[in-house]
Every structure is written in structure tokens, then in C-alpha cells.
A and B are shown apart, each in its own frame.
Chain A
Amino acid sequence: MVEIANPGMLELVVDLVLMPIVAFVVGLALVLMARRVRAKIERRVGPPFLQPVYDIVKLYSKRTQISHGWMHDVAIMLLLGGFITAEIFLPVPGMSGLAEHGDLLTLIYIMMVPMLGMALGVGDCANPNGSIGISRALTAMLAYDVPYIIAVVGACMVYGTSNLVEIVQIQQAGGPATWGIVTMPLLAIAGLISMHGMLGKEPFEIYIAPAEIATGPMVEMSGKYMGALFVMQCFQLYTVGVLYTTLFLGGGEMWLTFLPKVFAVILVFVAITNLFGRLRTEDVIAWMWKWPTGIALLGLLLVMIDV
């Protein structure tokens, strides 16, 4: 049995409070960046600096808040709770939170909890557009998670551990030559594509599809329910960015080197997303199971030969 050095009580409490807050604030900045970049590509000025805050405050301060049943409410709690849990198990510079008590595999499954919660809440809304959206979202998950899992498994094999703190330490100790993107470039590419799918950006935006199924899962969300989804978007961008940075870009010892990497990863997503239209559901699966999965399997083969 391996003994885990428990952090001091005070340090732990600080981590528990700070990690979600940092995630939220950075997530707000990421949302702002995504909207600004989109505006720039479309030759617009884009929203003002505090726009993400305005949107969330406005939604939470709606006078009427309609609910379709208790699962609709619980879904909102699960959504926030699941992502806050994920942030606490995701190590960032200076704060490792509880990352020692749950590893990468745990994190992947914790990140599915808010998704399941949202799916249940949307189902409770009894709106067919919402149900179609969830059906598509889960189908998309089946599509992008295959290359994603292969990339994650390959990374775990290269680092010889699934402990996120150790993965960062290994890359920090060895310098850029040991970063995942250098040691396993094919897996890094597959991971990038699959995480793009995970964010639901075009061309994999099948489950939002505003002109087709009226934003799918969000169709009956209003007021603070919608506000929670906006908060979730902040967490999601942050989580994906940090996870990719941790696995393939060496993590970071300090925020000054860490945050630029996170923003760069999200910038890649938001910069290329505007180039595409929307694929059909089955084309998303076919494409995801063909190209990223193929690349990832090739990368895994190289890793297996190497290890």
C-alpha cells in the first residue's frame, strides 16, 4: 500500500475553495476570448470585456424561473457539482487539490457526471428537441471518446502512471523534450481533435444545431438554468484546456507559463471552428472513428513498440 502524503488541512481547504474559483474566472476569460476571436474572424468588434459576466448575472436575475420538474432542478445542481469536483481533481500550478486521491481515469469519469445530469434534466423537460439533442450529444460522445480514450491510454503508458500530479512532474523534470506533444505527436493530434469534438464546436456541433433542433439540450433552459449552462461552458473550456496542457504540453510550474498554454489550446479550437459547417450525426461518427481513431491507434502502436 502506498502512503499518500496528505496535504495540510488549511492548504486543502484553500485548494478546495480556490481551484473552482480560478477555474471559473479563467473560464470566463476563455469564453470572452472565444467570442472575441469569432467576432474578429467575422470582421466584427465583438462583445465588451465583461460580457460573459453580464450574461450570467442577467440570467440568474430573471424574475420568473420555470422548471419542468425536480430532475430539471437536480440536473442544474449536478452540472455545477460535477464540474467543481472535476476542477478539484485536476492539478494546476501550486494547487494539486485532491489529485492524489483520484487519477486520470477517475477524472474522465467525473467529467461524465455533469453530462449525465444534464441529459437527465433535459429529458425531464419533455421537449423532443431537447431529447434529440441529448441523443445526438451521446452519439457524439461515443464518437469522440474513442480516439480520446486511446490518446489517454497511450499517454498513461508513456508516463507509466495515471497519476496526474506525476504526469506533470515527469514533463516538468525532463523539459520540453519530454512533453507529450514531442514524445507522442500522433496521440497529441488525436487528442486535440477529440477534445475539439468534446467541446461541441463546429463541425461536431450536431447537438446544438440552433437552426435544426433549436439548440437541442438548451431548448427549455431559461433564467438560472440557462445561467448554470453558461457557467458550465466556462468550466468546460477550462477543463479541456488544462487537461490537454497537462497531458501533452507539460503542464506548468507557475501560472505565467501555464495559462498561455491553456489559452493557446482553446485558441486552436475557436480559430478553426469557424471554418466549418456542421456534419451529419453519422458522418461525425464515421469521421471520428476513421481519422482521429486511426491516428491514435497508430500512435498507440508506436508507444507499444517503444515501451
Chain B
Amino acid sequence: MSLLDLLLLLSLLTTLYLYAFGNHRNAGHLGMVVYAVATGLVIAMAGPLADGTGAVGSTFAPVMLGHVLSWSMDGLGWFFALLTTGAAFFASWYMSGEWNAEQPNKRIQHGTLALNVFCMLLLLSSGDLLSLFIGWEFVSWAAFLMMTQLGSHAARAAFRYMLYALAGAMAVFAAILIVKAQIGSFAFADLRAAVPALSDGLKWLLFGLFGLGFGVKMAIVPFHLWQAPAYSFTPGASSAFLNAVSARMGLFAILLVLGKLIGFATLSDLALPLIPMDAKTLLMWVAAITMVVPTFIALMQTDARMLLTWHGIGQGGYMLLGVLVATPLGTAAGLMHVLNYASYQMALVLAVFAVIHRTGTADLDELGGLIKRMPFTYLALLMGIIGLAGLPPMNGFVSKWMIYKSLLDTQQPLLLIAAFVGTLGTILSVYKLIHNIFLGQLRAEHQKVGEAPGSMLAPMLILAGIGFATGFFPGLALGVVDVAQAALGVELLPHGLGGVYLATGSLNMIWVVGIMIGAIGFGAFVFYVIGNRRYGVHQFDNYAGGHFLSADIRYHFSHEFYPGLARLIGPWYRGSVVNMENGLMIGLKTAGDLWHGAFRIAYTPFYLLVALAIGLWWAGLDGGF
């Protein structure tokens, strides 16, 4: 029995157990233990994978229609598996205390989390195209179960997701069948060997079908509309888990199939007619649009969860762009961003749900001043937004810097500018998030709100701490990234503990963060030593042009936080994007109605007639009369 067998078995048993006994008050603690063990198992697998060629196989190999299904985990899958089990550990921790005690559907929450982990591990350890497809479907349905757990809003969004996901799965299935028809095998190695011999048209077809299928999960534009509501309205830790890991399965599949099997180099040979662009550049521009457009949609959100999930879509664009650069630096940057993003996004979502837990709302127009009541939650959110905005000293800066640098080194300034613009939009948006929730006027109804409980604070603070540690010592994360990069067959990026050294400009975060900490310490010294002691005043002792402030006056500037910008680019949202989305929805609904109408009983004789006619015609052709 190999380690992979053990891991999958453990995960499966956890799923069954938690689905049956998830209502027990210690379910969260059990989850923590199991996911910690699972993470340990994944780490134990690292040994043979480090050189990039090894894989940990599974002894479980059923035969289906004459094909042997195989599961084995290589470095790429290992990288994402580590992410999955780690994220599940923190999600379970969050659900272990007060949260667990108060949730009405904790059995579903624990059960679906375990199910998702199991399905993802299954996908990540797929050994051929058929098991990849099986894992893919499992993951889609598991995520669907997780999203629908509360019904109503989230369920509608989840249903929308399912439509996209089914379309994507069909595309993937079609692509796999084409591969089977062409090369007669589901094995990865056979596809890899056969790619150079395929015709350009077929490559385009495979690129399109796989790109569509995996792109839906990854929520790249224009298949991104489902993700934000679906992830936002899932409760608590489930939402954080979905945000951190779920969409990354799309990236995994893109890396595996387009990157490793078909090869990004093959894609850059596929030239588009008329315009000087190839398939890879096309995908890079799609990634660039994915960075910019969802970020600016996030900027206009009034729900904290929606804001974060829209950013999640945008951050996916950074990862895709990074790995598509396909230089050692770019690949490392994209993969490292996966890890970094998981750490800070999870901290952010958990912090927002802690606020919801205490105040009952995530509406950015209805909060304010909570820093006075929930200082530690504020700290977690603050570190999270610094990471999300990609500023030093957090880890988000390192991976974004590497993405910028790789684009600069490969002479792609326009993509670089798109990445920068996305980052600028992110800074605006995350400031709005933290300002509207934690800064400004504390409302009278929140005067007695308390700090989030320890079981919820600990995971988010630790995640934020991981974000800081891997920002201070990026070498820690880059060491993990190396395994996946070796498995992808990309040359490894030489790095030290503090960062990367290149001939065209270096980054040593130990110096950057060290100096920054020192300088801020000096700032603190100046603040405390020079000048008289500070004296804290309360919020109504405030300049308002001679006006007397009181609690019945709501003066927190939170609604429409960027009015100047909104006046300028607002029409874009109202006019084109929203109309496009509505148009798409109406189109889908109409198509659905037509389809539904076509199956209605009243039409049956007509269809029978048509079928009969076609049958006769075909038979006639065949018979040749």
C-alpha cells in the first residue's frame, strides 16, 4: 500500500465519517487532526518527487471498458495537494469552535469539506486522461454540493456554476475523445509523444476545448461570471476553502494538459491568421483581461465577500500569466502566487466571515469603526490586504514582483502594464474594504460587538503570519515551488532564502523587509520619544466644520467610496458589462426554454414524425433506392 493509497483512503474515510457524524461538537477538531495527518502524508511523499520525474503511484487500478484507470501523483499534483490539505486544515480549525457550535448545518459543512478534499486529491493524482476526467467531474460536483448547502442565493449561483461546469466538462470530454480517436490511448505519455505529429487544426481544437473546459473552473474571462456569487454566499470556512483552492484545480489542469502534455512551446507555434498573435499570446491576453476586468468589478462591490471573490478571479489571471511566460522566473512566479494567494485570500475571507459572525452583515455600507472592537481581526485583514495588493513586506509582493520581472525580461511591456493596472485597482479596492469595515465611525449598534473567538482568530492570524513569513523568506515557498516546476519540465529558478538574483535586477526580501522593519522601528522611536505623550480621544471629538457630532448622525464616508472614478468609468459597468452579463443570462434562459419546450409532451408526435422521416431517408440512402 503506497502513501498515495493511504492518503486517498484516509480522505475517503474522513468523508464518510464526517458526513455521518458531522454534527458532533468535536467534528472540527477531528477534521483538524485528519487534515494535519494528510498534510504530513503529502509532505512525506515529497522525497521521490523532488527531481521532477518521479511519481507516487496507487495500487488501486480498476478496469473500465477495457481501459486500466491509473492514479499516481507527480510533483505538480503534489504541489496542489499540499495546498488542498493545508487549506482544509485551516478551514477545519475555523469551524472547530464557536462557529461549529452555532451553525445549523454543520454536518453538511464538515462533510462537503472532506468530500471536496477527497475529490481534489483524486483529481490531483490522476494518472491518465480518463482518470483526469473522472476526477474533474468529481471536483465539479463536490464544489456544487458545497455551494448549495445553504440554498437560496448561493444555490442559484451554484446552479449557474453547474451550467458552466457541465459545458466545460463536455468540452474536456470531447477533447479527450478526440485524443483517443487520434492516438488510441488515454495515457499522458502517449499524448505527449504524439503532439508534434498532430495537425495545426487539431491542436487548435484541443487547445480550444481544453482551454474552455479548464478555463471555466479557473473563471478566466469570459467564463468568470459564475464564480463570485457562487463562492461568496457559501458560508464561512467553506467559502474560504473554495476561494483558496477550488479554482486552482483549473490552473492545475491547464498546467498539466496545456503546459506539460501539449506544451506551451507548441501553443506559441500556433499562429492566428491576420493578426500577429499565437495561441499562447492569446491566452496571455485572456489572462491579462482576467487580471484587469474582475479587479475593477470588485472595486464597485458593496458586499465584502463579493469584493474578495471578484479579486480571487483577478488573481487567477496573475497566476495564469506567470506560468504562461514559461521562463523559469515566470513559472516560479505563477506557481508561487498560487501558494501566496491561498494564504492571504483565506485569511481575508475568514476575517470577513468573523465580522459577519459578530455583526450579522458584510454590507460595506453598514459597517465601520470595528477596529476599536475587533483589533485582531483587523490585523488579519490588514496583513491579508497588503498581500492581496502586492505590497512589501507580504508574500503577495514577491510573486507579483517576479511576474512583473519575468514580463520585463521577456520584453512584454503591454502585459506588464496590464498587470500593474490590475494591482492599482486592487489597492483602491482593498482600501475600501478595510476602511468601510474597520475604520471610520463605529456605529451605535456595534458598540457592544466583541472580538472574534480564538478558534476563528487563530487560523486567520496564522495564515497571515505564513503570508508574512514567506514574504520575509520567499525561499521557503520557492523551495516548494521547485518540486512542481521540476515536474513541469521547466528549468529551475536559482534562488536563495531571501529571493532571486538576476543579472537585470534582484530582489532580496530579507534586506527589504529587514530594513523596513528597522525603519518602522525608528519611526516608532521618533513617535514615542520625541514630543509629548499621546492622548486618545473618542470618535466624536472630531473636526466637522464646527458641527457637534453624535451617534445619530451617520457620517462614515463609505457609500460609493470612489465617486470620481465611478462617474468616469461607471457607465462601463452599467452599460456594457452588466448588459452583456444580462444578455448572456437571457440568452441562456431563452435557449433553455426553447430546449425545454422542445421536449414538452405536446410536440412528441411531431418529433416522432421527424425522426421517422430522417430514419427512412437514411435507410433509403443506405439501401440505395
Contact = CB atoms under 8 A, between A and B. Distances in A.
B541 interface: yes
Given A65-B534, A103-B506, A135-B561, A85 B519 contact: yes
Contact of B565 (A103, A113, A285): A285
Given A84-B519, A106-B507, A69 B401 contact: no
Contact of B421 (A1, A110, A146): A146
A6 to B, nearest CB: 10
A103 B530 contact: no
Interface stretch (B129-137, B278-286, B351-359, B431-439): B431-439
B382 interface: yes
B523 A78 contact: yes
B534 A66 contact: yes
B511 A81 contact: no
24 contacts: A62-B531, A65-B531, A65-B534, A66-B536, A66-B537, A73-B527, A73-B534, A77-B526, A79-B523, A80-B522, A102-B507, A102-B508, A102-B511, A103-B505, A123-B431, A127-B544, A131-B556, A134-B435, A136-B564, A139-B562, A141-B427, A142-B425, A154-B413, A157-B413
Contacts of B562: 135, 138-139
Given A106-B512, A134-B435, A2 B506 contact: yes
A160 B437 CA distance: 44
The 5 closest A-B pairs by CB, nearest first: A281-B564, A123-B439, A81-B520, A103-B505, A80-B523
B410 to A, nearest CB: 11
Contacts of A101: 498, 506-508, 511-512
B390 A65 contact: no
B588 interface: no
A214 B506 contact: no
Contact of B505 (A69, A70, A104, A110): A104
B532 A141 contact: no
Contacts of A139: 428, 562, 564-565
Nearest to A284: B564
Contact of A68 (B431, B507, B508, B539): B539
B403 to A, nearest CB: 10
Interface of A: 1-4, 16, 20, 60-71, 73, 76-82, 84-85, 88-89, 98, 100-106, 109-110, 112-113, 116, 119-120, 123-129, 131-132, 134-136, 138-139, 141-142, 145-146, 149-150, 153-154, 156-157, 160-163, 166, 206, 214, 219-220, 223-224, 227-228, 280-282, 284-286, 300, 303-304, 307
Contact of A85 (B503, B515, B531, B568): B515
A120 B503 CA distance: 37
Contacts of A104: 505
Contact of B502 (A2, A16, A154): A2
Interface string B493-535: 0111010011111111001100110011111101100111111
B96 interface: no
A166 to B, nearest CB: 8
B32 to A, nearest CB: 32
B531 A76 contact: no
Nearest to A108: B420
B502 to A, nearest CB: 6
A104 B564 CA distance: 30
Contacts of B416: 153
A288 to B, nearest CB: 11
B556 A141 contact: no
Contacts of B523: 76-81, 84, 228
Nearest to B499: A101
State the majority secondary structure of interface residues on A.
Answer: helix
B522 A105 contact: no
A106 to B, nearest CB: 6
B42 interface: no
Interface residues of B, number: 83
Contacts of B511: 98, 101-102
Given A282-B564, A285-B564, A76 B505 contact: no
B535 A307 contact: no
Contacts of A141: 424, 427-428
A170 B404 CA distance: 22
Contacts of A138: 427-428, 431, 562
Contacts of B378: 71
B411 interface: yes
Contacts of A120: 382, 431, 434-435, 439
A303 B496 CA distance: 33
B453 interface: no
A281 B564 CA distance: 5
A161 B503 CA distance: 8
A166 B66 CA distance: 63
Contacts of B507: 101-103, 106
A116 B516 contact: no
Contact of A81 (B401, B494, B516): B516
A124 B519 contact: no
Contacts of B524: 77, 81
Interface string B412-423: 010011001100
Given A113-B391, A220-B542, A281-B564, A131 B520 contact: no
Contacts of B49: none
Given A80-B522, A80-B526, 9 more contacts: A2-B502, A66-B537, A68-B542, A73-B534, A80-B523, A82-B519, A106-B392, A106-B507, A223-B531
